[in-house]
């Protein structure tokens, strides 16, 4: 999907449907939503709920997440790193603690965008962080 990340969900659905070479009614039937409503969604007249998006994704045989991203209700995340996935799934952490760790992890990665720093620099980093 070239262009903006959060575009018109309706246009995106129509595009995917046309790529799949199925009619509006065929998709509506496969998705279990009414065909007039799907038409309205595609033309931007209605704003579908996440549940409807889930059904449409099923009918299109694509991930619901892809539609959520287009609809602006989910961040477009490239595959989680192992660290991120592990933190999210860790049952010994509260939701808030997970968010804190993820934020710190992310800020560390930003610092390292020019490369992983030498151990001497990392020393200073630790002192700041621990204090």
Q: Which residue has the tokens 């939503």?
A: 33
For residue 62, give the nearest of 11, 12, 24, 2 by alpha carbon: 12
For residue 8, the partner it binds in its own copies, DNA, none, with Cβ less than 5 to 8 A by kind, is: none
Determine if 6 is a binding residue for its own copies (CB under 8 A): no
DSSP code per residue over 78-127: PSPPHHHHHHHH-TTS-HHHHHHHHHHHHHHHHHGGG-PPPHHHHHHHHH
Please report, as residue ranges, which positions from 61 to 90 form the binding site for its own copies (by CB under 8 A): 61-66, 68, 71, 73-74, 76-83, 85-90
Site stretch for its own copies (CB under 8 A), options 22-30, 35-43, 60-68: 60-68
Determine if 114 is a binding residue for its own copies (CB under 8 A): no
**Of 45 and 85, CB closest to its own copies:** 85
């Amino acid at each position: 999907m070239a262009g903006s990340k959060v575009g018109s969900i309706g246009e995106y659905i129509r595009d995917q449907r046309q790529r799949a070479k199925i009619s509006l009614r065929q998709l509506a039937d496969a998705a279990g939503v009414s065909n007039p409503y799907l038409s309205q969604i595609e033309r931007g007249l209605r704003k579908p709920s996440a549940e409807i998006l889930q059904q449409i994704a099923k009918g299109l045989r694509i991930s619901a997440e892809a539609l959520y991203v287009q609809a602006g209700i989910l961040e477009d995340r490239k595959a989680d790193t192992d660290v991120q996935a592990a933190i999210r799934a860790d049952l010994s952490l509260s939701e808030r603690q997970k968010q804190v760790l993820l934020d710190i992890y992310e800020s560390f990665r930003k610092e390292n965008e020019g490369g992983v720093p030498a151990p001497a620099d990392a020393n200073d980093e630790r002192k700041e962080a621990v204090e």
